[in-house]
Amino acid sequence: MIVHLVDGTYELFRYFLSPGAAFDRSAPPQLRAVRGVVASILGMLEGGATHLGVATDHVVESFRNALWPGYKTGEGMDPVLYAQFQPLEDALSALGVIVWAMVEFEADDALAAAAAMAAGDPRVGQVIVCSPDKDLAQCVRGDRVIQLDRRRGEQRDEAGVWKKFGVAPASIPDWLALVGDSADGYPGLPGWGPASAATVLARYGHLEAVPGPAAEWDVSVRGAARLATTLAERREQALLFRVLATLRPDAPIHADVDALSWTGPRPDFAAWSARLGTPSLHERASRLASARAAAAR
């Protein structure tokens, strides 16, 4: 079987910011992004997905905010978007999809935990993490756990991670610690860019393995002496940024692969479909569930 794991928060932002959303009159403005995500997830099921889970940020803040004062918050977020967080969770649950609504942890942590869980099940042939977020590249394992950018239709296996970032998936948190992640609100170390971080980490793997003096580096990096000094002076900060970048496979998802099997919508999905202005969603979901049940007999 193939397991699909979807970043619901990313999908909600994507549909909220989509130019087509402004012209979508099938749903009320306060639910248009929700309708887009629900229809998209149903489309995945119609396209053959059988085992699927969606992770969401029930709130924007997480345990990481206590570690770094500049870490991302919900400040400045469009209230119309924020108001759709919980309706998305409720509508997807009514569709019959398992939803991990994260509070202390983040959606990406739930995806990492679910990917590790699914990859450990011998019945699973492949795990597809549906999100373009670079921090999720650390979850990739060979071609067994891959990353999918659904909007662009681009897949990224371990070779793809090397090609894009210049490091192995296991080094992504170290790479982000040096480069920073403006979306998450931490800056990385001054002077360190994607190329220099990739060159050093491709050789040494992790921050602890990087020799202190640049004279001991056996890779050629422009401005190596300055970069080595910065890393030495800000090593504690770099290690903190790596903690921020490291996803938590111990995030509480309380599910196994069997729980991800989609068997059909709940009765209340009819009301949700009407509320979203698209009653046909319920008809499609019910028809698909009936067809799968018939095929299983």
Copy the structure tokens of residue 66: 């206590």
The answer for residues whose C-beta is within 8 angstroms of residue 91's C-beta and 6 or more apart is 34, 38, 269, 272, 276
pLDDT of residue 61: 93
Copy the structure tokens of residue 196: 């220099």
Place of tokens 């980490």: 201
Copy the structure tokens of residue 49: 């997905």
Measured between alpha carbons, how far is residue 213 from residues 174, 209, 232 in Å?
A: 18, 12, 9
pLDDT of residue 253: 96
Mean pLDDT lowest for which of 6-20, 103-117, 128-142? 6-20
Q: Is the pLDDT of residue 46 over 90?
A: yes
Measured between alpha carbons, how far is residue 211 from residues 90, 168, 194, 239 in Å?
A: 50, 19, 19, 15
Taking the whole predicted model, whether its pTM rises above 0.85 is answered as: yes
Q: Is the pLDDT of residue 23 over 70?
A: no
d(CA 89, CA 107): 12
Instruction: Tell me the average pLDDT across 2-30.
Output: 86
Confidence bin at 297 (pLDDT 50/70/90): confident
Q: Is the pLDDT of residue 21 over 70?
A: no
Measured between alpha carbons, how far is residue 127 from residues 4, 141, 188 in Å?
A: 6, 9, 30
Instruction: Tell me the average pLDDT across 189-208.
Output: 97
Q: Is the pLDDT of residue 195 over 70?
A: yes
pLDDT tens, position by position, 201-240: 999 999 999 999 999 999 999 999 999 999 999 999 999 9
Confidence bin at 124 (pLDDT 50/70/90): very high
Instruction: Tell me the average pLDDT across 107-114.
Output: 98
Confidence bin at 55 (pLDDT 50/70/90): very high
The three-point CA angle 254-259-265 to 5° equals 120
30-34, 77-81, 134-138: range with highest mean pLDDT: 134-138
Measured between alpha carbons, how far is residue 263 from residues 93, 142, 234, 258, 290 in Å?
A: 12, 30, 51, 11, 9
- Determine phi and psi for 52, rounding to 5 degrees: -150, 140
d(CA 109, CA 88): 19
pLDDT tens, position by position, 260-296: 999 999 999 999 999 999 999 999 999 999 999 998 8
